[in-house]
Amino acid sequence: MAAKIYTVTSGKGGTGKSVFAVNLAAALAGLAKRTLLIDVDLGMADIGLMLGLDNNKITLHEVLAGEANVEDAIYDGPNGLKVLPCGLSLQGFKKADISRLTDVIAEVSPNFEFIIIDTATGINHATAASIEVCDEVLLVLTPEITSIANGSKMKVFSALLGKEVTGMVLNRTMPEHAEAYREKLFKSVDIEILEMLPEDVSIPNSIAGKSPVVVKYPYSEISIAMNRLAASLSGIKMPESGEEKGRIKQKNEKKNRAGVKLPFVQPKN
């Protein structure tokens, strides 16, 4: 069976793509899903730094350069997550041949249930290749007009590559403005909001600790939201609060995601 491949992108930089990709992947792994996280930000790779895997010599750069086998560039992350980081050097950026990405992913795909691809900011060849190879595109946007405009453009770009955007994760939100985001800011944007992630100091703290927030602060609001999304993408039904029930039910029905129905499991520390 091939893995389900999600590409995380945004258009605008600094919206939280890498933070989201790391935490979605760790949350899926925490649900005992065989998950691979790949950093396809070839010029400004952050995943290795975020997970303390930045000292490894063999990375996606070497694999895309044809100098290394992909299995030698996959490392152990938290919760049993597997990580294919990208190197930090500009020589690595120069030698990487993005046209190899499809073959690399085809090689690893049978070994995983989920592959999460983190991308660079903006429209570029590596992001195009990451969208072309995926099953679903997830946008990470912030509640700012520039982020929304860039996200809308990314939706068009995805469509040009033959991929629909599954939905957006709205990051760095203020919970008291949740309805205003839905009613005003995003009313005209035809992209479903899958989750809202609050502005939370646990994010910079977890990055400093080289650990995903879902591992370091598993009971924070942001971790609960990440786990809820991971459960939803896995087809796992979890207990819902009264207010959320209707919305989540509607969302799940709409998505019609197939899969096993297991009790929700919190990842272990």
Ligand X SMILES: Nc1ncnc2c1ncn2[C@@H]1O[C@H](COP(=O)(O)OP(=O)(O)O)[C@@H](O)[C@H]1O
Q: Which residues bind Mg ion (CB under 5 A)?
A: 17-18, 46
User: Does 121 engage in binding with ligand X (CB under 6 A)?
Assistant: yes
- Choice between 45 and 229, CB closer to Mg ion: 45
Q: How far is the CB of 264 from Mg ion (least distance, A)?
A: 28
Q: Which does 4 bind (CB under 5 to 8 A by kind): ligand X, Mg ion, none?
A: none
- CA 243 to chain CA centroid, Å, is 26
Q: How far is the CB of 18 from ligand X (least distance, A)?
A: 3
- Give the interface segment with ligand X, choosing from 53-61, 98-106, 198-206, 248-256 (CB under 6 A): 198-206
Q: Which does 227 bind (CB under 5 to 8 A by kind): Mg ion, ligand X, none?
A: none
Residue 138's φ and ψ, nearest 5 degrees, are -115, 130
Residue 181's φ and ψ, nearest 5 degrees, are -60, -45
- With beta carbons less than 8 A apart as the criterion, state whether 227 and 214 touch: yes
- Choice between 46 and 62, CB closer to Mg ion: 46
Q: Which does 158 bind (CB under 5 to 8 A by kind): Mg ion, ligand X, none?
A: none
> Cα–Cα distance between 57 and 15 in angstroms, integer?
28
Distance (Å) of CA 65 to CA 5, 74, 197, 214: 22, 16, 36, 33
Which of 160, 154, 155, 95 is closest to 132 using CA atoms?
160
Q: How far is the CB of 120 from ligand X (least distance, A)?
A: 8
Q: Which does 19 bind (CB under 5 to 8 A by kind): ligand X, Mg ion, none?
A: ligand X
- Give the interface segment with ligand X, choosing from 86-94, 200-208, 230-238, 239-247 (CB under 6 A): 200-208
- With beta carbons less than 8 A apart as the criterion, state whether 118 and 45 touch: no
User: Does 16 engage in binding with ligand X (CB under 6 A)?
Assistant: yes
Distance (Å) of CA 171 to CA 7, 67, 140, 141, 226: 16, 37, 7, 6, 11
Which of 44, 41, 16, 19 is closest to 147 using CA atoms?
16
User: Does 150 engage in binding with ligand X (CB under 6 A)?
Assistant: no
Q: Which does 62 bind (CB under 5 to 8 A by kind): ligand X, Mg ion, none?
A: none
> Cα–Cα distance between 46 and 200 in angstroms, integer?
19
- Choice between 5 and 222, CB closer to ligand X: 222
Q: Which does 33 bind (CB under 5 to 8 A by kind): ligand X, Mg ion, none?
A: none
Amino acid at 154: M
Residues that bind ligand X (CB under 6 A): 10, 13-19, 46, 121, 171-172, 197, 199-200, 203-204, 207, 222
